[in-house]
Structure 1
Amino acid sequence: MRQIERGFVTANGAILVIGLMVMCVTVGWNVAGRYVTGNSLSWADEVSRYSMIWLTFLGSGLALREGAHAAITNAQDALPTSGQRAMRALILIIMFAFFGFMVWVGLDYMNRTAFQKSAALRVPMKWVYAAMPVGFALMIVHLALIAPKYWRAGQQQSDEAAIG
């Protein structure tokens, strides 16, 4: 199971690296072309914008896993151990419910925009908006993988500590 989890985390990170490379190369090529030839790529802005949207949603699960999202733990820390566990359980339930709701909302929004196409690339906008349900589904998977340790220990650990 740990190997599958490690592979999942590695694949998620590799996709982020590839997406960031695509975005950087596109923007760099466009800027260089603008200064060298005086022309720019008509689709570069859309590629970089849509890459950033996808990177944000695909990376949010890894950020969750690392504890990189904002958290206020004062109330939790003030409780006794049993109260802390109860609060962490409530937090997990709320997070699972919210992420599931956002997958549903994202799918609905994606389907509502299926007929629209982007201006330069002529890509159906549903593929741009698919980043939201995909990203929140990944957050559900990441949360499910770290939830037991979070509930028991009260702290999110890095991948090496959580998996290894």
Structure 2
Amino acid sequence: MQKLERIFVALNGWALIVMLSAMALIVGTNVALRYFTANSLPWADEAARYLMIWMTFGGAGLALRVGGHVAITNLHDTLPTFAQRALRAAIVVVLLGFFAFMVWVGWTYAQRMQYQMSPALRLPFLYVYLAMPVGFSLLIAHLLLITKPFVMAGAYKPRHDGDAEDDSLPGAANG
């Protein structure tokens, strides 16, 4: 199971790297073309925008794994250990419900947009709006993979597999 998790995380990370590279290449090429030829690619801004949308939704799960989202821990820190675990379990249940709801909302919205075309790329907006259900599905998968250490110890996954946990991370288990 750990090997599958590493593969899943690596594929998610590589997909983001490919999207960021494509975005940088498109924008860089467009800037160079404007500078050297006074012309630009009419679809470059649109492509970069859609890649940014996909990167945002696709990367949210990886940020969740390492505690990269905003958290307010005042209440949590004042509770005894058992109550902290119960609160973290409740947070996981609420997040799973919210993420599942957003998958449904995103899928519904993407289906509604399937016949509308983007102005420059002539791409069905379905492919743009699919970022939402795909991203929230990835959030569900990442949350399920970190649930046990998070609920039991308030710990997140290390940033790199095999590395020691970063003690500077909020909620990271110390030694």
What is the TM-score of this pair, normalised by structure 2? 0.90
1:4-39 deviation line (CA, Å, top 9, x unaligned):
000100010000000000000000000000010000
The alpha carbon displacement at 1:158 in A equals 1.4
Shift of 1:115: 1.1
Q: Percent identity?
A: 53
Which SS does the other structure have where 2:75 is aligned? Answer: helix
Match of 1:157 in 2: 157
Residue by residue, what CA displacement relative to the aligned partner does 1:135-156 show, whole Å, maximum 9, x if unpaired? 0000000000000110101121
Judging changes above 3 Å, is the alpha-carbon distance between structure 1 residues 2 and 56 closer, same or farther for their aligned structure 2 residues?
A: same
Equivalent residue runs for 1:48-87 within 5 Å: 48-87=48-87
The correspondence of residues 106-145 of structure 1 with structure 2, limited to 5 A, is 106-145=106-145
Q: CA deviation at 1:62?
A: 0.1
Tell me which residue corresponds to 1:103: 103
Give per-residue Cα distances to partners, 1:47-73, cap 9 Å, x unaligned: 100000000000000000010000011
Where does residue 37 of structure 1 map in the other structure?
Answer: 37
Give the TM-score normalised by structure 1.
Answer: 0.96
1:92 aligns with 2:66: no
Opposite residue 73 of structure 1, the aligned amino acid is T
Higher relative contact order (CA 8 A, sep 6+): 1
Show CA shifts across 1:92-117 (max 9, x none): 00000000000000001001111100
The 2-side partners of 1:101 and 1:142 are apart by 16
Change (3 A) 1:98 1:161: farther
> Per the alignment, do residues 161 and 96 of structure 1 end up closer, same or farther by CA in structure 2, a change over 3 Å counting?
farther
Distance 2:91 2:122 in 1: 41
